């Protein structure tokens, strides 16, 4: 029976090109290291592949430590070198933590703060951080966080903000700035009523600690009722048909449940064994 090990080396090299060799990852998660650990044959193939990658960068080969496997030299180089200008840097790109990128190169990537996307482009956080109950089929925008003046700032790729604004204009059939501003205010109110906030690349629920499942469900149904009244109000500036508003209100509870469940899982993972997250 054919197996990975019985494939010709050229094909194995082709497969290895899909392992993201230019991404900075821990040795634990590095597919090259994991493959090399699985058999002697694959270790030899990975070494030959990493040697080939290094050969294209002669200065790196010169810095290779004595006896160090080629795959380790390669991973060290990827983690310590800006992948745009190839100067020394250990910094991760704001919008893609898997890529090493120096400050100068990162500055050239057009991006804006979450606050600018809201105030200058009248997009609510529910419009930006998708998918959610308002936009269940929209993919996420490219975003990332970085430390700024003692706090975390969220940055979003400018191109994605502009494309999202264009989408909202098309969806609502209205590009009037005052309409978009009122719409954003309304959706910000909905988000706050739901006690949702966005941090670390995901949605969270405020004040859920200590509540049991029944209490939580009652709270979700209560807030859903408030949200339904807000968004089904005919004078609400949303640019959606009544039917579409009903669909949004109906999707609220399952979205809150999904946020709550992933929040509980993530808290449970961070707590020491024996402690409960509820
Ligand atoms: Zn650079």
The Å distance, Cα 145 to ligand 1 centre, comes to 19
Asked if residues 101 and 90 have their Cβ atoms less than 8 Å apart, the reply is: no
Cβ-contact 82, 89 below 8 angstroms: yes
Boundaries of domain holding 56: 7-81
96 found inside a domain = no
* Interval between CA 103 and ligand 1 midpoint (Å): 7
Same domain, 64 and 169: no
CA 67–ligand 1 middle distance (angstroms): 29
What is the residue-wise DSSP string for the chain? ---GGGS-HHHHHHHHGGG-TTS---TTT-HHHHHHTT-HHHHHHHHHHHHHHHHT-HHHHHTPPTT--HHHHHHHHHHTB-TTT--B--PBPSS-TTSB--HHHHHTS-EEEHHHHHHTT---HHHHS-SSSSSTTPPPP-EEEEEETTEEEEEEEHHHHHHHHHHHHHHHT---HHHHHHHHHHHHHHHHHTTEEEETTEEEETT-TT--HHHHHHHHHHHHHHHHHHHH-TTS-----HHHHHHHHHHHHHHHHHHHHHHHHHHHHHSPTT----
Model pLDDT, residue 54 = 87
93, part of any domain: no
Q: Mean pLDDT per 10-residue run, the chain (278 residues)? A: 79 89 84 89 92 79 75 90 93 94 96 96 97 94 89 94 96 92 93 90 80 76 84 82 88 89 76 47
Looking at the fold, whether 48 and 149 belong to one and the same domain comes out as: no
Are 146 and 138 contacting, i.e. CB atoms less than 8 angstroms apart? Answer: no
Q: Please give the pLDDT value at position 277.
A: 42
Residue with tokens 């290779």: 64
Any domain includes 99: no
Q: Say how many Å lie between the CA of residue 249 and the centre of ligand 1.
A: 46
Domain's final residue, options 81, 101, 120: 81
Q: Hey, what are 177's tokens?
A: 């700035």
Q: Is residue 75 part of a domain?
A: yes
Instruction: Kindly state whether residues 143 and 223 are assigned to the same domain.
Output: yes
Are residues 260 and 127 located together in one domain of the fold? Answer: yes
Number of domains in the chain: 2
Do 16 and 58 share a domain, yes or no?
Answer: yes
| Å from CA of 110 to ligand 1 middle | 15
Q: The pTM is what? A: 0.82
Does one domain contain both 133 and 259?
yes
CA distance 257 to 278: 15
Q: Do 174 and 76 share a structural domain?
A: no
Q: Domain for residue 278, yes or no?
A: no
Q: Are residues 257 and 148 in the same domain?
A: yes
Distance 114 CA to ligand 1 centre (A): 24
Listed residues: CB within 5 A of ion ligand 1? 82, 84-85, 102, 105
Distance 104 CA to ligand 1 centre (A): 6
Q: Are residues 62 and 199 in the same domain?
A: no
């Amino acid at each position: 029976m054919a197996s990975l090990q019985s494939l010709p080396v050229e094909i194995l090299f082709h497969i290895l090109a899909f392992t993201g060799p230019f991404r900075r990852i821990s040795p634990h998660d590095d597919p090259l290291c994991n493959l090399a650990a699985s058999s002697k044959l694959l270790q030899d193939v990975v070494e030959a592949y990493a040697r080939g990658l290094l050969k294209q960068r002669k200065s790196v080969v010169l810095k290779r430590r004595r006896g160090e496997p080629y795959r380790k030299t390669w991973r060290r180089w990827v983690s310590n070198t800006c992948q745009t200008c190839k100067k020394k840097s250990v910094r991760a790109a704001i919008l893609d933590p898997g890529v090493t990128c120096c400050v100068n190169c990162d500055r050239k990537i057009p991006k804006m703060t979450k606050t600018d996307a809201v105030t200058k482009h009248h997009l609510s956080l529910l419009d930006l951080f998708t998918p959610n109950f308002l936009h269940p089929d929209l993919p996420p925008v490219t975003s990332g966080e970085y430390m700024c003046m003692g706090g975390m700032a969220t940055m979003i790729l400018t191109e994605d903000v502009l494309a999202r604004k264009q989408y909202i204009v098309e969806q609502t059939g209205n590009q009037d700035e005052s309409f978009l501003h009122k719409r954003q205010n309304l959706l910000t109110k909905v988000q706050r009523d739901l006690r949702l906030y966005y941090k670390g690349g995901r949605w969270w629920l405020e004040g859920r600690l200590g509540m049991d499942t029944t209490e939580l469900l009652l709270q979700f149904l209560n807030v859903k009722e408030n949200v339904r009244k807000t968004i089904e109000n005919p004078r609400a500036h949303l640019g959606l048909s009544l039917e579409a508003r009903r669909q949004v209100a109906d999707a609220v509870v399952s979205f809150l449940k999904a946020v709550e469940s992933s929040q509980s899982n993530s808290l449970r993972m961070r707590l020491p064994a024996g402690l409960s997250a509820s």
